Structure 1
Amino acid sequence: MQKELQNTWAQQIKLLLSQKQTEKAQQEINEKQAEQLTDSDQIQIYLLQGQIYYIEQKYEQAIEQFQGCLKIDKNFAVAYFKIGQIYTSQNKYIQSLEYYEKVIKIDENCYKGHHYLARTYTIIEEYFQAQNHYNNCLKIALQLEDPSKIKESYFYLADIKNKLGFLQKAIEFYQEAIKIDKNYLDAHFYLAYTFQRINKISESIQQYQQCIQIDNNYSNAYFCIGSLYTRNQQHQKAIEYYQKCIQIDQNYREAHFCMGQSFQSLKKFSQAIQAYKSGLKIEPHFAEAYLNIGHSYMQMNQKKIAIQNYVESVYLKRTLINFISDIHLKKQIQHLVQVKVFIAKKQQKILMQFKKLKEYQLWKKQFRQEIVQEIGEFLIDNETFQQNKERQEQNRENQKQISIFATENQHQIHNNVQKQFIQKQQQAFQQMQMLQQKSQNNYLNNYLNNSGININNNNNNNNKNKNAEGELVLNDMKHVLQISKYLDLQLLQGMPYYYLYKQKFIKSSITTAN
């Protein structure tokens, strides 16, 4: 709320200043100063007081007020801008450039800052610098999407292109401005002038006519059309447009003079003299008008009056030349002083940039050395990495070969073991067959004989025989068991001797136990 109130009182004072009511504005400021002010309020007071002094052309006091804003806030861009405007109004363009530069340092996207920089560079004929800042204006305007600023930027860029002699580019920029605003009078006028410069007379006249449609009282357009018709030796049409121009603006000196020339070309000398004299009423020191009046009287054989006008013309020319040369010399001296100051400051900037460039080159050299060193280390590391990678790949290949070789050996060992087992199995089987044939009868007979004796006979001899037979059976069974590890148990159980051994072993065991 307080901020809104601050804006309200400041806007009221600004309104009074726009109406040139400086006394009322000063009263409002004095009343506000009596209150307890914040820093932001004090900045507004300094700013408004500075604007009052600026309107009253008290430039030193105005600068002091704007400097007061900067004491409170060093980054208050408006104050720098206002000081730049003061120096521009005093034709101190180099100083004004410094302050406009400070504005865009604080705010790079300040449209006004770039615009006034460009205008100032245009005044001192630094057209390329002006072009750069107008380009910045166009970029900012396009970002803001502000049609009025966009068309204005195109127009001023076209003006710079015109001054630099890039006429075709100037035409393009004027046309871009007209696309945004079809009634952009200045764009149409200067587009016509640019067409005139490249001798496109019909296009030029068309654009001047467009200016007249926009503003029927635009005297410059009538005059320029008249001058184009004069250029094409169409003097009667030219006179019509000169007369229209004079109807709008009776003090248009050039229109009177050019109309006099057209009458003179048509050998209407009395009308020509009248037109020249009308021009001299506006500008009494117009030497060319006296000269042409002298020519006209000479054509009318009024030599005395002609000589009087010639003398007046020569006298005015000499006086005018001396006067103009003095003014021009003073302007040149002022301009040279400003340029000298500007060059000195530029030299300081260039020296600073040169120092920075040297520092940058040293840093660049050191940086390059560090990079070369790092690249060397990287290449060494990379080479070591490649070697390690090759070794790993070789190791993998070796392991692969070893695994293949081991697999083949395992298969071969397994086959050999299997063959040996089969051979031992066959040998055991053959031994079992031989043992079966050899022992089948013996053990069977012994068993039968001894079993019959042992049942009815209980003496010690018989017991000893039984024990002997039992041991024999046990030994045979051990032999069978040793062999049987190479045989299938089911195959062994199918043999009859196994049953006999089993019975013999059981009975012998029982007897021994008893």
Structure 2
Amino acid sequence: MLRSITLLVLLLHTMLFSAAQDATALYNEGLKLKDEKKPAAAMEKFEKALLLKPGYTDALYQLGWCQNESKLYSKAITTLRTVRTSWSNIPKVHFELGYAFEKNNNADSAISSYNRCLQLKPDYANVYKQLGNIAYEKSEYEKAITYFKKHIEQAKNEITDYLFWYRKGFTENALKDYTAAQASLLKSLNIKTDYINTYLELGFAYTKLKQDDDAINYFKKAIDIDPKSHIPYNGIAEVYRDNKKNMTEAIAWYQKSLTINPNERKANYGLGYCSNSLGKYTEAITYLKKAIEYEATYTAAFVELGYSYYKTKRYPDALNNFAKALSQNPKNENARYYSGLVYIIQKDRINAQRMVDELKNLNSKNATSLQDKVNKM
């Protein structure tokens, strides 16, 4: 009897040893497939290894990694949470779990996991990139640029992710650091030459730096990539409108934008603005109404439309549009200034003075000139 038990134990031990060997072999096959960028095939190997050896944490982690790579983020979250119970002090586990949360639109959980990763390994470069991406998606640009710079500082190798450099450049444009944006966006362009958004952001940066020919050139390259996008046409129009002060040429480019998308609000606004500048106020009204039709909270369009009505002596309509602009942006100076001019024409000294006082509270340079006009009433 004792001999039978001994033989049974030996047999069981042999079977377990064989299963462990098989699990290890499957795990190694999975790693090879992962290195060959075949995550789906690798997952099959890791899953088979786990069937033979359920507590195989290495295989479970690699399975979670491959699930992330295969965009199976909900599954990755479940898998990596299990890994975390055994490997709670391993930084890469928290990074991968954070990545799964981020891609599954669980930003708060992602940030929590990323921060735990940094507690364990403060120089984990990719965490800073991902935290920057989360801030970028939330339009928290000051926070985003801090993380992006930290990623560069901690990176061990050259950064060849074109999207990283694009997002950094976009963020710098948003923060009005146009020279830095140029440098970042050119790095993105050197890595990937057919990403239209990089050309658009470069065009914007060069426009703001008043390097007009370069700006137009980048917008035209964007047109080459996608002739049906209205955005680069608007970009060129703005170079002519804001920098070159050539309203006729700007109108021509805005018209091209409307040919592609008749409902494009910025082109309609731009046409209204340029028409006002050329004294074509009735035409401006038509375009500006369309801009507001397509965006009911377009503050600048309400101001410009109010100006059109002011110049065509439709004073109640002018005041109405200025009031709408102020309801959306209580600090808008132009709406107050031109409202003041209308009140002066209407001989309404009380409201004209009210506009002056409000401009003074905003430290507006227009307050003095409007006050002089009120004093002459």
Q: Which moved more, 1:190-199 or 1:49-58?
A: 49-58
Task: State the alpha-carbon separation in 2 of the partners of residues 290 and 157 from structure 1.
Answer: 35
TM-score (ref. length: structure 1): 0.50
Task: State the alpha-carbon separation in 2 of the partners of residues 299 and 36 from structure 1.
Answer: 76
Q: CA deviation at 1:222?
A: 0.7
Match for 1:214 among 260, 269, 277? Answer: 260
Correspondence 1:314 to 2:314: no
Residue equivalent to 1:454: none
Secondary structure, aligned partner of 1:279: helix
Residue equivalent to 1:79: 127
Which string of whole-angstrom CA distances, capped at 9 and with x for unpartnered residues, describes residues 71-122 of structure 1?
Answer: 8xx7x65324124446774724774354231466523422133334434554
Residue equivalent to 2:68: 10
| C-alpha contact (below 8 Å) 1:84/1:99 kept by paired residues | no
Letter in 2 for 1:227: Y
Letter in 2 for 1:134: L
Residue equivalent to 1:259: 305
Q: Higher helix fraction: Structure 1 or Structure 2?
A: 1
Equivalences, count: 301
Residue equivalent to 2:284: 238
Task: State the alpha-carbon separation in 2 of the partners of residues 94 and 249 from structure 1.
Answer: 30
| C-alpha contact (below 8 Å) 1:80/1:102 kept by paired residues | no
Which string of whole-angstrom CA distances, capped at 9 and with x for unpartnered residues, describes residues 165-192 of structure 1?
Answer: 2101111111111111112332221111
Structure 2: unaligned runs, 5 residues or longer: 1-28, 44-62, 365-377
Calculate percent identity across the aligned residue pairs: 19
Secondary structure, aligned partner of 2:189: helix
Residue equivalent to 2:325: 279
Q: Which moved more, 1:259-268 or 1:50-59?
A: 50-59
| C-alpha contact (below 8 Å) 1:239/1:259 kept by paired residues | yes
Secondary structure, aligned partner of 1:158: helix
Correspondence 1:171 to 2:191: no
| C-alpha contact (below 8 Å) 1:226/1:238 kept by paired residues | yes
Match for 1:141 among 187, 192, 195? Answer: 192
Change (3 A) 1:27 1:185: same
Change (3 A) 1:100 1:118: farther
Residue equivalent to 2:237: 192
Letter in 2 for 1:315: D
Q: CA RMSD in A?
A: 3.8
Matches of residues 240-389 of structure 1 in structure 2 within 5 Å? 240-283=286-329, 286=332, 288-300=334-346, 303=347, 306-321=348-363
Match for 1:159 among 195, 204, 208? Answer: 204
| C-alpha contact (below 8 Å) 1:66/1:82 kept by paired residues | no
| C-alpha contact (below 8 Å) 2:234/2:253 kept by paired residues | yes
Secondary structure, aligned partner of 2:188: helix
Secondary structure, aligned partner of 2:363: helix
Residue equivalent to 1:48: 100
Change (3 A) 1:79 1:299: closer
Change (3 A) 1:297 1:114: closer
| C-alpha contact (below 8 Å) 2:91/2:118 kept by paired residues | no
Letter in 2 for 1:48: A
Q: CA deviation at 1:49?
A: 5.5
Change (3 A) 1:255 1:129: closer
Change (3 A) 1:282 1:108: closer
| C-alpha contact (below 8 Å) 1:261/1:272 kept by paired residues | yes
Change (3 A) 1:11 1:132: closer
Which string of whole-angstrom CA distances, capped at 9 and with x for unpartnered residues, describes residues 260-301 of structure 1?
Answer: 22222122223323333443444456454344334334434x
Letter in 2 for 1:299: I
Task: State the alpha-carbon separation in 1 of the partners of residues 216 and 332 from structure 2.
Answer: 35
Task: State the alpha-carbon separation in 2 of the partners of residues 297 and 108 from structure 1.
Answer: 59
Residue equivalent to 1:115: 166
Residue equivalent to 1:325: none
| C-alpha contact (below 8 Å) 2:285/2:305 kept by paired residues | yes
Which string of whole-angstrom CA distances, capped at 9 and with x for unpartnered residues, describes residues 113-165 of structure 1?
Answer: 333443455456554443233222212113xxxx3x2x233222222222222
